Amino acid sequence: MAIHCYENISKNVKKLFKLDTIDTSYVIGVVDEEMFLGHIYYGALLNDYHVAHTLRILENPFIPSQYNRDRVSFLDSFPMEYPAHGLGDYREDCISIVAENGSTGLSMQYVSHKIWKGKPELLHLPAAFGREDECTSLEILCEDACTGLQAALLYTVFEETGVMTRSVRIMNKGKGDIYLTKAFSACLDMDNKDFEALSLHGSWARERHIQRVPVSHGKFSVESVRGESSHQDHPFMALCTRGTNQEQGEVYAMHFVYSGNFKVSVQNSQFDQIRMVMGIHPDDFKWKLEPGEEFQAPEVVMVYSSRGLGKMTRTFHDFYRKHLIRSSYRDKKRPVLINNWEATYFDFNTEKLLAIAKQASLLGIEMLVMDDGWFGNRYDDNRALGDWIVNEEKLPGGLKYLVEEVNKLGMKFGIWMEPEMISPDSDLYREHPDWAIAIPGREGSLCRNQYVLDFSRRDVLDHTYESIAKILRSANIEYVKWDMNRQLTDIGSACLPPDRIGELYHRYVLGVYELQERMLEEFPYLLLENCSGGGARFDPGMLYYSPQIWCSDDTDAIERLKIQEGTALIYPLSTMGAHVSDCPNHAVGRTTPFETRGHVALSGTFGYELDVTKIPAKDRRMIPKQVEMYHKYNNLVREGDYYRIASYSENHYYDCYGVVSKDKKEALYTFVQVLNVPNYRSRRIYFKGLDPERKYKVEGEKGVYTGDVLMKAGYLVENLEGDFKSRLIHIVGN
């Protein structure tokens, strides 16, 4: 059993829980007669459980049950496992309420626990999964005796991957209504180890750039209040000991399995103690719990690495591939697709789409995806969202005819949708203006000339589902790109009562999850790719429903180096929607070699975003070779271990990363020379991840090298002529 409970450790430590994976331990203690739940240890695997002395409880002279003169001093320094609000712990808390009498104070004390093999599902929420032989769960029940509020803290350890997940279920066992105003999912209290906080930030077209800042006194937060996980911040944070790099240093990481508002913060206290917390953002959150009702908070994935960021990365990759992504496409190649958006925008018809498809099919491309503009009165982005009826002026004969003609070419067919939105200029809005999220009596704030549908309403959800399902039933559609092009504002609902408006943000996210779950249940063969104005909802919650997410609307190969580096820090390469697009690039105006565009897109799902009938002939001739390249390397890219070798965002000249097969018999390294340097010879690259004893041959070269030599002495990459040039280095071992 990977989780053990030890009783009566000392006079003050009543119980101790030790949660072990293959290389980590996590230890919790129940302290004092009042049964406070305290965090003791998280880190490398311990071979003993006698660590309760590190709680420092005897250093505090004011242990509440023994000498209650200064309870606040105890509460403000004790390493809480799930800190509550308002009674003396002045650090960032995890749970707060407004009780029926208006009070806000809470104290969550241990009541009971249970341990079992396997992992439960979370009600209406995406969450990691595992068999009984893969994981073990601990539930610790805590209660505030004064209000009757209970919190069931759920921990699951996945023994072989080294990962722990955490979530919280909150129940009102009292006699009156309780308003939950904060419900975070996880807390980590520990001593400061001269940490730096690593996070991912950005904006539209430059998502998930890596940032590292020293952890100083005070708070550092990463958060979104936009109704989605957002372009600007990402629901992830890692604490790294100073000097941590890819191979060495300690890393404590949290990642939120959620697609809405979030907050993750780290605080260094007056005693140089660190507290990191993560959960649903408390701004505009207020959940009413009537007696007997409960609230399920989303899940946090926690990873500890004692061997730097590279080990953290590969742990997340393995875990998500095995325990979060459910799609049948998880373990197989995705079809090479061509999307018509940058090729035509709204200006297309059946004839134009079939011309693109015919040319694409001759080049080996396997799927045509029809993007925005196929429905209602949709001739630009100012109208028709919500009117999911085929525009037969553009598509004579309808969707069925188009799809059948594409299928005759030997290609699959996919379609773009934006089911969460409604245009003011639409038949749906004219009939149901109250279906939009809005504050009654206030003119709504438009973004991209559209509003957001109120997914807290059952009638809206059901209508939306039937609208998109009717389209999917009408033809042989095998792929859906689900988009969301604006954030939430004007939080109000025509149906929710005033005391439940604070539930709208979360109910909206639950509605999105429900729609995607229903769609996949009816159309289980569907390849779903989530998208939100590019990468604004690239999060673990979405991965539960779609095995890939559009990484960014910026398809420029050079900009993608930073975007894909930050994304690959925590996500498998197989999840990153990446395409070869036309030049000059539509986002930045840069022109890069067609070969380089292909090499960079190879590190994702791979596809095309251009008009194949209009690109230069030399580029068109390269497509069959790129498709062949994709089929040659995709199993390795999708399943292998990822290693970051050099970062263009750090050195400003070149980028390099690699994927190594699990058996270490094969590796593929991608080298991108961003800027050439005059009077420069070659660059020495130190490969990673190889078997030191195995002999390797570089494809296309005569020499044979041991893995030890390639990793320690290095490999020379010749200076490439010009900027934005790239090279693939394929290595095969004996």
In the chain, ranges of CATH 2.70.98.60 domains: 58-323
Residue 115: φ, ψ to 5°: -130, 135
Collapsing DSSP to helix, strand or coil, 209 comes out as: strand
Residues 298 and 126: their CA atoms lie apart, in Å, by 8
Q: How far is CA 466 from the centre of its chain?
A: 28
Residues 696 and 734: their CA atoms lie apart, in Å, by 7
Residues 546 and 551: their CA atoms lie apart, in Å, by 13
Phi-psi region of 376 (alpha: psi -120 to 50; beta: other; left: phi over 0): left
Structure confidence at residue 59 (pLDDT): 72
Compute the C-alpha angle 451/452/456, nearest 5°.
Answer: 145
In the chain, ranges of CATH 3.20.20.70 domains: 338-436+449-486+528-544
Residues 451 and 433: their CA atoms lie apart, in Å, by 10
Strands in 704-706's sheet, in edge-to-edge order, are 641-646, 654-660, 666-673, 725-733, 695-698, 704-706
Q: 645-733 architecture in CATH?
A: Sandwich (2.60)
58-323 CATH pick, 3.30.450.90, 3.30.390.10, 3.40.50.1100, 2.70.98.60: 2.70.98.60
In the chain, ranges of CATH 2.60.40.1180 domains: 645-733
Structure confidence at residue 676 (pLDDT): 94
Active-site positions? 483, 553
Residue 454 tokens read as 């109120």
Is the pLDDT score of 67 beyond 90? no
| Residue that is written with structure tokens 């995705």 in the block | 334
Residue 634: φ, ψ to 5°: -65, -40
Secondary-structure breakdown of the chain: helix, strand, coil percentages, each rounded to the nearest 5: 25, 35, 45
**Which residues pair with residue 339 across a beta bridge?**
369
Per-residue pLDDT reduced to its tens digit, 438-484:
999 999 999 999 999 999 999 999 999 999 999 999 999 999 999 99
Residues 711 and 247: their CA atoms lie apart, in Å, by 13
Residue 142: φ, ψ to 5°: -120, 160
Q: What is the pTM of this model?
A: 0.97
What are the CA-CA distances from residue 352 to residues 322, 358, 611 (Å)? 41, 10, 10
Structure confidence at residue 535 (pLDDT): 96
Residues 200 and 224: their CA atoms lie apart, in Å, by 12
Per-residue pLDDT reduced to its tens digit, 263-298:
999 999 999 999 999 999 999 999 999 999 999 999
Is the pLDDT score of 609 beyond 80? yes
Q: Please answer whether residues 591 and 619 qualify as being in contact, where contact means their C-beta atoms are separated by less than 8 angstroms.
A: no
Comparing CA positions, the residue from 188, 186, 162, 187 lying closest to residue 45 is 162
What are the CA-CA distances from residue 503 to residues 75, 182, 286, 288 (Å)? 30, 12, 6, 8
Q: Please answer whether residues 319 and 302 qualify as being in contact, where contact means their C-beta atoms are separated by less than 8 angstroms.
A: no
Q: Please answer whether residues 357 and 411 qualify as being in contact, where contact means their C-beta atoms are separated by less than 8 angstroms.
A: yes
Residues 281 and 89: their CA atoms lie apart, in Å, by 20
Per-residue pLDDT reduced to its tens digit, 579-593:
999 999 999 999 999
- CATH class, 338-436+449-486+528-544 region: alpha beta
Q: Once rounded to an integer, what is the mean pLDDT over residues 623-634? A: 98
User: Which of 48-62, 111-125, 534-548 bottoms out in mean pLDDT, i.e. has the lowest?
Assistant: 48-62
In percent, the amount of the chain with pLDDT more than 70 equals: 99
Provide the residue type at 404 as one letter: E
Per-residue pLDDT reduced to its tens digit, 352-372:
999 999 999 999 999 999 999
| CB within 8 Å of 463: residues ≥ 6 apart | none
Cβ-count burial of 351 within 10 angstroms (0-12 exposed, 13-18 middle, 19+ buried)? Answer: exposed
Cβ-count burial of 407 within 10 angstroms (0-12 exposed, 13-18 middle, 19+ buried)? Answer: middle
**Which residues pair with residue 143 across a beta bridge?**
109, 150
